[in-house]
Structure 1
Amino acid sequence: MIVGTGIDIVNIERVERMMARWGGLFLSRVFTEREIERCQQRVRPSECFALRFAAKEAFLKAIGRGLRNGIRWTDIEVENDLLGKPLLSFRRKAREILETERIGKALLTLSHEQPFAVAHVLLEGKNDEGSER
């Protein structure tokens, strides 16, 4: 059963300006070390960072809490499987919230077209046996 959905759109040029102004401070506050490493290897790092920022915002909207109750940007990480499919992984407070709210799966899709990056997150709940509803 679907228990939450969130969508976010980010202006890639805005992320470029934030990177130029705040540099490593912005990156380390919002992104994990693996995300930073992965995005900095791309031809257009700002596009990669914008997609990940949108994904984190979409997840926060889907759980309906935003950055409250101790959750941090770096508690949410965007990864890719071997075929490039985007995946969300969670640690610390984000993982705790998923367990408390009985969320079994977080599905993510990303897209971009200059100057925008967009992300959509769909949350599926767990049934009484612990699998997805």
Structure 2
Amino acid sequence: MIIGIGSDFSDARRIARSIERFGDRFLDRVFTPGERRKADQRKLRAETYAKRFAAKEACSKALGTGLSHGVFWRDMEVVNLPSGQPTLMLTGGAARRLAALVPDGYEPHIHLSLTDEGPLTAAYVIISAVPKTGV
């Protein structure tokens, strides 16, 4: 069952300006150390950050809170499965909100799609709950 859907668009030029203006203060507030390592190794650094920014916004919408009610930027981390598929790992307030949304006997699955065209990026998040196996 679907328990949340969110989408967001971001402009890498805007992210690049924020990095230029605020530097580590912006990056430390929004991105996890793992996300920073990945983005800082990429040729298209601002685009990589922009996709992750959009993913976090989309996830916060799918959680139904936005970036409020104890859900913070760094509670959501874009990670890759062994297949390379992106997903989100939630901690802190985001993980607590997710747990509150999932019915007993179910487990959450977070589906993330990222795309870009030039400096524009988009992210779509679907949070679903599936019956636990072996229950």
TM-score normalised by the chain length of structure 1 = 0.91
Secondary structure, in 3 states, of the residue corresponding to 2:109? strand
Q: What amino acid is the match of 2:59?
A: F
1:111 maps to 2:115: yes
Aligned counterparts of 1:124 and 1:20: Cα–Cα separation in 2: 37
**CA offset digits 1:32-70 (Å, max 9, x no partner):** 011001100000110100000000000111111111111
Aligned counterparts of 1:46 and 1:83: Cα–Cα separation in 2: 24
Preserved CA contact (<8 Å) 2:65 2:71 = no
Shift of 1:2: 1.0
**CA offset digits 1:82-126 (Å, max 9, x no partner):** 332111001111111111111611100100111201000001124
Q: Which residue of 1 aligns with 2:81?
A: 81
- Give identity over the alignment, percent: 38
Preserved CA contact (<8 Å) 2:60 2:71 = no
Secondary structure, in 3 states, of the residue corresponding to 1:123? strand
Q: CA RMSD in A?
A: 1.3
Aligned counterparts of 2:85 and 2:96: Cα–Cα separation in 1: 24
Secondary structure, in 3 states, of the residue corresponding to 2:89? strand
TM-score normalised by the chain length of structure 2 = 0.90
Unmatched 5+ residue regions in structure 2?
none
